[in-house]
Amino acid sequence: MAIIIDGKQISADIRAEVAVEVEKMKTDHGLTPGLAVVLVGEDPASQVYVRNKESACHEVGFNSFKYELPADTTQEKLMQLVDELNCRDDVHGILVQLPLPKHLDSSLVLLAIDPNKDVDGFHPVNVGRLAVGQATLPPCTPAGCVELLKRSGAELEGANAVIVGRSNIVGKPAALLLLSENCTVTIAHSKTKDLPGVCRAADILVAAVGIPKMITGDMVGEGATVIDVGINRTAEGLVGDVDFEAASQKARAITPVPGGVGPMTIAMLMKNTLKAAQMR
Nearest-5° Cα angle at 5, 4 to 6: 105
Is 251 near ligand NAD (CB under 6 A)?
no
* DSSP character at residue 244: H
In the bound state with ligand NAD, the residue whose beta carbon lies nearer, of 81 and 269, is: 269
Per CB under 6 A, does 141 bind ligand NAD?
yes
CA 6/CA 20 separation, integer angstroms: 22
**95 binds ligand NAD per the rule CB under 6 A:** no
User: What sign results for the dihedral spanned by CA atoms 99, 105, 107, 109?
Assistant: negative
Can you list the positions of beta strands (E) in the chain? 3-4, 34-40, 63-69, 93-96, 160-164, 184-188, 204-207, 225-228, 232-234, 237-239, 253-254
189 is a contact residue toward ligand NAD (CB under 6 A)? yes
CB atoms within 10 A of CB 150: 12
Residue showing the smallest CB distance to ligand NAD in the complex: 167
Instruction: Determine, following the binding rule CB under 6 A, whether residue 209 of this chain makes contact with ligand NAD.
Output: yes
Considering only residues 2, 261, 270, 277, which one is a binding residue for ligand NAD as defined by CB under 6 A?
261
Set 6, 117, 118, 120: catalytic member: 120
Residue 120: active-site member: yes
The binder of ligand NAD chosen from 2, 57, 110, 170 (CB under 6 A): 170
Nearer to ligand NAD, 81 or 149 (CB): 149
**What are φ and ψ of residue 63, in 5° steps?**
-80, 140
Q: Answer yes or no: are the C-beta atoms of 167 and 132 closer than 8 Å.
A: no
Instruction: Please name the amino acid found at residue 43.
Output: D
Beginning with the edge strand found earlier in the chain, give each strand of the sheet holding 184-188 in spatial order: 3-4, 253-254, 225-228, 204-207, 160-164, 184-188
Q: Does 74 bind ligand NAD (CB under 6 A)?
A: no
Give me Rg for the CA atoms of the chain. 19
Using CA atoms, how far apart are residues 4 and 273, in angstroms rounded to an integer?
28
Q: In whole angstroms, how close is the CB of 52 to ligand NAD at the nearest point?
A: 11
Question: Among 161, 178, 208, 270, which residue interacts with ligand NAD (rule: CB under 6 A)?
Answer: 208
How near is the Cβ of 263 to ligand NAD at its closest, in Å?
A: 8
42 Rama class: left (phi>0) / alpha (psi -120 to 50) / beta: alpha
Instruction: Figure out which of the listed residues 162, 164, 202, 224 binds ligand NAD, where binding follows CB under 6 A.
Output: 164
Contact between 255 and ligand NAD by CB under 6 A: the answer reads: no
| Binding of residue 221 to ligand NAD (CB under 6 A) | no
Judged by CB under 6 A, does residue 48 bind ligand NAD? no
Q: For residues 18 and 257, which CB has a smaller minimum distance to ligand NAD in the complex?
A: 257
Q: Is 200 buried (19+), middle (13-18) or exposed (0-12) by CB count in 10 A?
A: middle
Q: Which residue in 210, 217, 221, 259 binds ligand NAD (CB under 6 A)? A: 210
The yes or no reply on residue 256 touching ligand NAD (CB under 6 A) is no
Give the interface with ligand NAD as residue ranges (CB under 6 A).
141, 164-167, 169-171, 188-190, 195, 208-211, 229-232, 261-262, 265
- Residues belonging to the active site: 53, 97, 120
